[in-house]
Amino acid sequence: MSAQGDCDFLVKRARELVPEDPWAAKAWLITARTLYPADFNIQYEMYMIERNAERTSSAGRLLYDIFINFPEQPGVWREIAIITAALRNDTQDKHAQFLRGVFETLPGPVQCQMLLKATEQCFNTLEKAEMHLLLLKRFPDSVVQHGVSLGESLLEAENMQDLDTPVNCYRKLFVCDVLPLIINNMEMRLPASLLHKYMHKAAEFYIGYVTRGPSADAQLQGPQEGGGLKSPGKGRGQRGVIDGLTEKSSLVAEPWERLLEIVGSVGLRCEWQGEKGTRTYSELLQRVKELCRYLPGLEGETFSRCCAQIVTCSTLVLFRSAHFYISSVQPSLFQGHNSLGSTPWVLVEDLSSVFNDIEPERPSGKHAHKKRKLADGREKTMSSDDEDALGKGRGRHILVNRTEMLAWAETLEHFRTARESWELLHSHETLESEFNKICAAWKTESWLWFRIFLTDMIIYQGQYRKALSSLVQLSSLQPQQSQNTHTSASSLETHRALIQQASCHYALGEYRLACEKLLEVVSGLVPQNQEATKSSEEQNRGRNKSKKGNDLRLIPCTSKDILPFCLQLMLACFKLRAFAEGNRDDLSLGHVIVLLQHDWPQGETLFLKAVDKICDQGSFQYENFFNYVTNIDMLEEFAYLRTTEGGRVQLELLPNQGMLIKHHTVTRGITKGVKEDFRLAMERQVSRCGENLLGVLHRFCINEKIILIQSLP
């Protein structure tokens, strides 16, 4: 008999005894162990008996023995893998708790050694990292030795996997778990460059995390609207779950606050100016704004350290505020369509003064028109067009309907803060180039939400030419929604860009292009009952009367709000042409009259001005009149114009009427017939007064699209 044979016999006998007499089984194994102290199976069997009976302390004791004496046995490794797996996951089942209890009974150094060895055994990078992390969390001393290498291995793994988003499991582990351990361990001495690199990795992750698209679940709940979101880049997995992580560990609570903590720690370690553990983002910005003033006087290392602080802080404040602004303006980007208050908002020129009388100065001035060629030639910040506009950009007001956007004040404040950070980043060459490096590394070019912010910012700055090219970029980032245009909400969202284009073209004096874009939008709208719009419109009335056409307005992207805006914008486009001095344009004047019906009697002054012009001309030809004018006041006025008292104005308002008149001027009877037609048409028109005006105007836009566009230069 061999020693192995003896051991096998003893273990076998003990195993047989376990069910009927567990004490005898243990007695056999104790004896066996004194006979063959170096045999693994005997001690492993002893451990298994205690483990299966879930006796924590004795199992721990025996595990300690076999771990110390048989570190190379595969059985030990299997067991350690099971125990460490129980440590990593957070299940509450009894056995997992028992295994964690066994681990807790072991002395600290053994726990440490066990975790280290278990880490070595892991082939899966993620598991390995989680194991490592377990070690670092339990043994803060080991952070000094292993912290950075673990962090680097995670970043390396991320690189190797060639992941297309920073919101991945490796980065999550690095940013949320490893990094705090590293930067909060005062024993660690790390170079500033490495700290900056890590902080930027963290920032990229947190920004990516908060600006992730809405979840797949949310899309399923709203199937009619969600179709377009299945396109690549947006519907990647569930929002709640990061690939490779559980739902629970994918959650990051208060990401902006976490990021701020990291910035605070790094700032402290990098000896940033005035860094005493920053508590708010606005403090961050305030501090670097002050720092910026001293920048020109600095040089060498101090200069670069200050630059790093300014760029980092401003960048974070910029993205944070821009994110908050966009989550108000375009909430569906982050929340999904069916959530409350997901209406998108669009920043456009304020047109509440459109009904005012013609002013000598037009919104963007004639000179803009003249210098357009120059501006087109070189799309640079300081074109003459923009130079002028920049000046205008200061102190522009943004009007919002306060009842419809509840957090309007915060939203506008975030917009302002973001712009301020942007300006700071572009106030110095070095800052700008550093910022551009970050943007390139993070591929911010591809961030739809940030492009939306940039566009709004450029519009605010009055750089409309630049804004238009930004809008083109925007549409290339936007997921294709072609099959979806019939559904109102999502198509409105895509039309957001069109509306802004129209608004920009208008501001640049490019009325024809403005109208083209507008009419494209209108064809996708569903006219509402006019009554609904009244209340909101009335609130802003009067207050804005005194303002120049210099302000901006945030309007909700709904048919209810968009159609009135489109009508106003068209009115604004035609108004100038229709009333131009020494220029007769009956078609434009007719369009203006049709458009003035909306929001009546706001446009009464302008209507009377139009009537004056018609009286001056002595005649007026607009064949669409009876198709689209249903306003009783206007009809009365026109009926009056034909009378002797009204000045016997020659009105050609019926289709082909002009032809008829020319043909039959000689024959009295036919003229009489024409008169009769007009009277009949008037009578018929009066009966149409109750028709939904928005419906009529909507039809006007759609049916007369070509004429409308052609009638503008």
Q: In angstroms, give the least distance from the CB of 4 to another protein.
A: 8
Nearest residue to 500 (alpha-carbon basis) of 527, 524, 521: 521
Q: In angstroms, give the least distance from the CB of 87 to another protein.
A: 25
Under rule CB under 8 A, residue 30 binds another protein: yes
Stretch near another protein under the rule CB under 8 A, chosen from 31-39, 144-152, 483-491, 574-582: 31-39
In sequence order, the 6+-apart residues with CB closer than 8 A to the CB of 391 are none
The 8-class DSSP code of residue 297 comes to: G
Q: Which amino acid is at 166?
A: P
CA 646 to chain centre: 58
Under rule CB under 8 A, residue 601 binds another protein: no
Pairing state between β 552-556 and 345-349: antiparallel
Residue from the set 16, 52, 57, 68 that interacts with another protein by CB under 8 A:
68
DSSP string for residues in 303-346: HHHHHHHHHHHHHHHHHHHHHHHHHHHSTHHHH-TTSTT---EE
The 8-class DSSP code of residue 358 comes to: P
Instruction: Name the residue with tokens 């290339």.
Output: 476
Site map (CB under 8 A) of another protein, residues 629-668, x = contact? ----------------------------------------
Comparison of 3 and 707: residue with beta carbon closer to another protein: 3
Comparison of 37 and 618: residue with beta carbon closer to another protein: 37
Instruction: Name the residue with tokens 């009952």.
Output: 529
φ/ψ of residue 184, rounded to 5: -95, 0
Q: In angstroms, give the least distance from the CB of 27 to another protein.
A: 5
CA angle 602, 608, 609 (to 5 degrees): 105
Under rule CB under 8 A, residue 414 binds another protein: no
Question: Across the chain, which distance is largest between two alpha carbons, in Å?
Answer: 140
- DSSP, collapsed to helix, strand or coil, labels residue 652 as strand
- State how far the Cα of 493 lies from the Cα of 400, in Å rounded to an integer: 18
Q: In angstroms, give the least distance from the CB of 34 to another protein.
A: 4
Under rule CB under 8 A, residue 44 binds another protein: no
Residue count, binding to another protein (CB under 8 A): 24
Residue from the set 16, 31, 124, 357 that interacts with another protein by CB under 8 A:
31
Instruction: Name the residue with tokens 């553990």.
Output: 277
Under rule CB under 8 A, residue 24 binds another protein: yes
- CA distance readout (Å), 485 to 491, 520, 547: 5, 12, 36
Under rule CB under 8 A, residue 357 binds another protein: no
CA angle 122, 124, 129 (to 5 degrees): 75
Residue from the set 15, 48, 65, 664 that interacts with another protein by CB under 8 A:
65
Residue 449 has which token pair? Answer: 């939400």
Q: In angstroms, give the least distance from the CB of 180 to another protein.
A: 39
Q: Which amino acid is at 62?
A: L
Residue from the set 11, 28, 557, 595 that interacts with another protein by CB under 8 A:
28
Residue from the set 19, 23, 296, 713 that interacts with another protein by CB under 8 A:
23
Q: In angstroms, give the least distance from the CB of 250 to another protein.
A: 44
Is the Cα torsion angle 701, 707, 711, 713 positive or negative in sign?
positive
- Residue 598 Rama label (left phi>0; alpha psi -120 to 50; beta): beta
Q: In angstroms, give the least distance from the CB of 17 to another protein.
A: 9
Residue from the set 3, 358, 441, 472 that interacts with another protein by CB under 8 A:
3
Strands of the sheet containing 552-556, edge to edge, are 345-349, 552-556, 398-400
Comparison of 68 and 659: residue with beta carbon closer to another protein: 68
Comparison of 26 and 132: residue with beta carbon closer to another protein: 26
Q: In angstroms, give the least distance from the CB of 127 to another protein.
A: 32
Q: In angstroms, give the least distance from the CB of 111 to another protein.
A: 18
- DSSP, collapsed to helix, strand or coil, labels residue 557 as coil
Under rule CB under 8 A, residue 1 binds another protein: yes
Residue from the set 14, 15, 16, 35 that interacts with another protein by CB under 8 A:
35
Comparison of 65 and 387: residue with beta carbon closer to another protein: 65
Residue from the set 15, 18, 54, 69 that interacts with another protein by CB under 8 A:
69
- State how far the Cα of 445 lies from the Cα of 162, in Å rounded to an integer: 19
Residue from the set 34, 92, 476, 644 that interacts with another protein by CB under 8 A:
34
Under rule CB under 8 A, residue 237 binds another protein: no
Please answer whether residues 274 and 306 qualify as being in contact, where contact means their C-beta atoms are separated by less than 8 angstroms.
Answer: no
Comparison of 35 and 526: residue with beta carbon closer to another protein: 35
Comparison of 1 and 253: residue with beta carbon closer to another protein: 1
Comparison of 9 and 640: residue with beta carbon closer to another protein: 9
Please answer whether residues 277 and 391 qualify as being in contact, where contact means their C-beta atoms are separated by less than 8 angstroms.
Answer: no
Q: In angstroms, give the least distance from the CB of 237 to another protein.
A: 51
Residue from the set 11, 14, 26, 629 that interacts with another protein by CB under 8 A:
26
Stretch near another protein under the rule CB under 8 A, chosen from 34-42, 267-275, 557-565, 628-636: 34-42
- State how far the Cα of 626 lies from the Cα of 665, in Å rounded to an integer: 23
Under rule CB under 8 A, residue 21 binds another protein: yes
Under rule CB under 8 A, residue 53 binds another protein: no
- State how far the Cα of 322 lies from the Cα of 431, in Å rounded to an integer: 19
> Following CA atoms 295, 300, 301, 304 in sequence, which dihedral angle do they give, to the nearest 10 degrees?
50
Residues that bind another protein (CB under 8 A): 1-3, 5-6, 9-10, 21, 23-24, 26-28, 30-31, 33-38, 65, 68-69
